[in-house]
């Protein structure tokens, strides 16, 4: 089934441009499901990095953005309200943002199981780097030292679905400038930290190598779930 997923590395792309592309593909897949009477529709896995941007999910609050518009501009960042789930998060250079546009019915997946699969892909990848990670009860994403005072998030997840087709996805901190998280309450949490692969390993990582392996892990989990 993996050959049915079209992978694209979009490189560095503005958030609005990537969102427009997602919406286009998302609507095409939904339309294909309606019109194809069971025929196969394409699926996509998009990877990219964004310039500095904060995004707020449909259940989020601007109160979790801790700086005003002037400082936002001074930091070279922008703000978008999105139609994904979740609260506020940050995207920026050195972070792998993944946008799977998948027809979950083709994989026999419900939305909760799908989100769990995305989390499991990050957990499995981190394990290859010798980093133990897990889920945090009551929260999406992937965490280190979940459940104790040093809990910190390394990957945020926020998904939208319609007719079992997904868009949006995950943001995995590889060489991310973590300073930008200090200007928000990440995902609405007041008492949780953030981290990156670079911070945990103590050295900058080859993000292209991480992308390649992460793509392989995601496709393998979809195939074998």
Q: Does 70 score more than 80 pLDDT?
A: yes
Out of 142, 159, 187, 214, the active site residue is 187
pLDDT tens sequence across 114-165: 999 999 999 999 999 999 999 998 888 999 999 888 999 999 999 999 999 9
Give which of 159, 164, 156, 161 is closest to 109, Cα–Cα.
164
Residue with tokens 């995902």, as numbered in its chain: 187
Note the pLDDT of residue 189. 57
pLDDT tens sequence across 99-108: 999 999 989 9
Note the pLDDT of residue 62. 85
Residues of the chain with pLDDT > 90: what percent?
Answer: 72
DSSP alpha helices (H): ranges in the chain? 15-35, 69-74, 111-128, 197-201, 207-224
Q: Does 199 score more than 90 pLDDT?
A: yes
Domains of the chain are 2-224 (3.30.930.10)
Is 187 considered catalytic here? yes
What global pTM score does this model have?
0.93
Contacts (Cβ under 8 Å, ≥6 apart) of 223: 1, 2
- Of the listed ranges 7-11, 68-72, 190-194, the least confidently predicted one is 190-194
Grouping H, G, I as helix, E, B as strand and the rest as coil, residue 43 is: strand
């Amino acid at each position: 089934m993996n050959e049915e997923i079209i992978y694209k590395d979009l490189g560095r792309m503005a958030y609005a441009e990537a969102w427009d592309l997602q919406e286009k593909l998302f609507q095409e897949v939904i339309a294909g499901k309606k019109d194809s009477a069971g025929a196969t529709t394409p699926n996509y896995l998009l990877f990219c990095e964004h310039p500095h941007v904060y995004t707020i999910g449909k259940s989020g609050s601007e109160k979790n953005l801790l700086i005003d518009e002037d400082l936002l501009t001074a930091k070279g960042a922008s703000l978008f309200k999105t139609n994904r789930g979740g609260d506020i998060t940050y995207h920026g250079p050195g972070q792998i943002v993944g946008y799977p546009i998948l027809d979950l019915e083709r994989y026999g997946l419900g939305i909760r199981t799908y989100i769990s699969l995305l989390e499991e892909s990050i957990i499995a990848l981190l394990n290859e780097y010798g980093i133990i990670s897990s889920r945090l009860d009551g929260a999406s994403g992937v965490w280190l030292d979940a459940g104790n005072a040093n809990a910190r998030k390394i990957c945020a997840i926020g998904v939208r679905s319609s007719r079992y087709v997904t868009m949006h996805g995950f943001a995995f901190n590889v060489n991310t400038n973590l300073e930008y998280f200090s200007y928000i309450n990440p995902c609405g949490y007041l008492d949780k930290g953030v981290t990156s692969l670079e911070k945990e390993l103590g050295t900058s990582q080859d993000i292209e190598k991480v992308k390649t392996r992460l793509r392989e892990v995601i496709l393998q989990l979809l195939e074998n779930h």
